[in-house]
């Protein structure tokens, strides 16, 4: 096993157990030996605060690596395929429809492998190289597999990628094209993940979401940083985030808090709300029971990217939800498709099923009075729709199929719309 400790060129100081607070050196480890709590990266915030400034960040590259000072790796080692600094779009049409005055969409479809997973994998790959691993691996619900495969290719590493066998075509091809060893497992994500824990114990590979998970997870903070910078160095009032393991959700919150600690923004007590699909909603279900005890579920939903029945960070997500005065929404598969269509038809953004969960989840939260109409609301759209075409196929209007004549066109149009549109000069 590589024994190199990460210290050079980063303000990361040590790993720290989230339960008992014990410190560990910056190694590829993820659980506390004493209490089995998860480890998290802890920084020298004093030194970080002296180094960072809005100006320094603004002069950085137009990618997530403009925040390198706030990440646990050496910026010289960054494996950067152009991830991050994705558009924050003012959603006036959708906002009007939902009764929200200041709604924004953070469009993370526009990453190199079309999902926010490039953020976490970019950090994990960089760290894996610092630790001198030659193989990058993961247990994935789909998007992670795409991103690990692409980053391993770029870093010249081998990739071993484990997925549930029943994934969408778009996600299988979107991994296979980069040439990884793609392993399709008969079983749910939770079974894939359990298998990968065993594989990870046996083989010296960098499993991005197992042994290097503490570093990996930090990549999601950049979504929080970007949104604040793009709002003119101002925190949103309310974030709506999709929940799978709960990691993304907790790290967006951590990112916003860090900017406030560092004095780069004012603290505004940002509220953190989450959304899940009915067929896999262990975190939202616990929230509705007002309990911190998560009951694992057997997933059955079209939102496969969020189909984690036993969420590793669920407890911490519930704590953040409670601390931030947020809420959780649960939406049906039918509502997921409606949400995808609504976002596409109002704002021209084609999201995958996780985006449908967020948009319909937001709608539910507004209806239930959890979102104040004047709040600056940011809905996080974390993956692109071309990967999950199966989900919307039954809901889209078929094309008018015609012969290549004006006559055939007009017949078809009239048959569908009941009348022809006004002609020129009519």
Residues near 426 by beta carbon (within 8 Å), at least 6 away in sequence: none
Segment 287 to 326, residues that bind ligand PLP, using CB under 6 A: 305-306
Structure tokens at 115: 């999902």
For residue 82, give Cα distances in angstroms to 110, 149, 264, 291, 346: 10, 15, 24, 40, 28
Residue with smaller CB distance to ligand PLP, 248 or 277: 248
Stretch that binds ligand PLP, among 125-133, 176-184, 198-206, 245-253 (CB under 6 A): 245-253
Output the smallest distance, CB 28 to Zn ion, in A: 17
Under the rule (CB under 5 A), what is the footprint of Zn ion?
Answer: 17, 19-20, 22, 32, 34-35, 37
> Any idea what the Cα angle at residue 403 is, between residues 399 and 409, rounded to 5°?
65
Rank residues 347 and 352 by Cβ distance to ligand PLP and give the closer one: 352
Nearest alpha carbon to residue 81 among 149, 6, 159, 132: 149
| Strand locations in 167-309 (E) | 181-185, 206-207, 238-242, 271-277
**Can you give the three-state secondary structure of 333-383, one letter per residue?**
HHHHHHHHHHHHHHHCCCECHHHHHHHHHHHHHHHCCCCCCCCEEEEEECE
Binding flag, residue 107, ligand PLP (CB under 6 A): no
Close Cβ partners of 61 (under 8 Å, ≥ 6 residues apart): 80
Characterize the bridge pairing of strands 102-107 and 238-242. unpaired
- Dihedral sign from CA coordinates of 110, 113, 114, 118: negative
* Between 34 and 267, CB nearer to Zn ion: 34
For ligand PLP, which residue of 117, 129, 213, 370 counts as binding (CB under 6 A)? Answer: 117
Which of Zn ion, ligand PLP, none binds 17 (CB below 5-8 Å, type-dependent)?
Zn ion
For residue 111, state whether it binds ligand PLP (rule: CB under 6 A): no
Shortest separation between residue 249's beta carbon and ligand PLP, angstroms: 6
Which range touches ligand PLP (CB under 6 A), out of 86-94, 187-195, 241-249, 409-417?
241-249
Q: Give me the 127-166 binding string for ligand PLP, x by CB under 6 A, dash otherwise.
A: ----------------x-----------------------
Beta strands in 143-259 (DSSP E): 158-164, 181-185, 206-207, 238-242
User: Which of 20/165 has CB closer to Zn ion?
Assistant: 20
Confirm or reject binding of residue 213 to ligand PLP (CB under 6 A). Answer: no
Considering the rule CB under 6 A, would residue 245 count as an interface residue with ligand PLP? yes
Minimal distance in Å, beta carbon 313 to ligand PLP?
Answer: 7
Gap between the Cα atoms of 49 and 45, Å rounded: 6
Question: Out of ligand PLP, Zn ion, none, which partner does residue 41 contact, by CB within 5 to 8 A per kind?
Answer: none
Footprint of ligand PLP on this chain (CB under 6 A)? 115, 117, 143, 242-249, 305-306, 352, 354, 382-383
């Amino acid at each position: 096993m590589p024994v190199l400790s990460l210290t050079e060129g980063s303000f990361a100081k040590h790993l720290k157990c989230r339960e008992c607070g014990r410190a560990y050196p910056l190694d590829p480890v993820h659980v506390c030996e004493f209490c089995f709590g998860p480890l998290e990266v802890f920084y020298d915030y004093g030194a970080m605060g002296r180094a960072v400034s809005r100006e320094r960040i603004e002069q950085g590259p137009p990618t997530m690596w403009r925040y390198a000072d706030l990440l646990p790796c050496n910026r010289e080692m960054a494996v950067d395929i152009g991830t991050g600094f994705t558009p924050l779009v003012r959603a006036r049409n959708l906002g009007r429809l939902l009764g929200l005055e200041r709604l924004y969409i953070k469009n993370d479809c526009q990453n190199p492998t079309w999902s926010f997973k490039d953020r976490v994998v970019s950090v994990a790959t960089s760290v894996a190289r610092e630790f001198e691993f030659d193989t990058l691996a993961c247990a994935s619900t789909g998007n992670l597999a795409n991103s690990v495969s692409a980053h391993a290719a770029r870093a010249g590493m081998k990739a071993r990628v484990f997925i549930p066998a029943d994934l969408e075509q778009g996600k299988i091809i979107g991994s296979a094209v980069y040439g990884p060893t793609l392993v399709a497992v008969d079983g749910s994500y939770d079974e894939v993940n359990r298998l990968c824990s065993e594989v990870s114990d046996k083989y010296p590979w960098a499993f991005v979401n197992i042994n290097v998970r503490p570093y990996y997870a930090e990549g999601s903070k950049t979504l929080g940083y970007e949104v604040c910078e793009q709002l003119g160095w101002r925190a949103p009032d309310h974030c709506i985030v999709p929940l799978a393991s709960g990691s993304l959700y907790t790290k967006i919150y951590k990112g916003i808090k860090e900017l406030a600690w560092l004095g780069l923004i004012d603290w505004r007590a940002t509220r953190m709300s989450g959304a899940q699909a009915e067929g896999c909603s262990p975190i939202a279900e616990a929230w509705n029971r007002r309990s911190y005890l998560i009951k694992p579920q057997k997933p059955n939903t079209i939102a496969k990217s969020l189909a984690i029945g036993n969420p590793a960070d669920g407890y911490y997500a519930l704590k953040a939800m409670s601390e931030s005065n947020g809420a959780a929404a649960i939406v049906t598969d039918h509502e997921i498709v409606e949400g995808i269509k609504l976002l596409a038809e109002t704002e021209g953004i084609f999201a995958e099923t996780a985006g449908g969960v967020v948009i319909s989840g937001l709608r539910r939260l507004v209806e239930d009075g959890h979102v104040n109409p004047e709040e600056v609301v940011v809905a996080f759209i974390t993956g692109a729709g071309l990967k999950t075409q199966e989900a919307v196929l039954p809901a889209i209007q078929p094309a008018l199929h015609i012969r290549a004549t004006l006559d055939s066109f007009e017949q078809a149009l009239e048959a569908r719309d009941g009348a022809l549109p006004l002609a020129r000069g009519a």
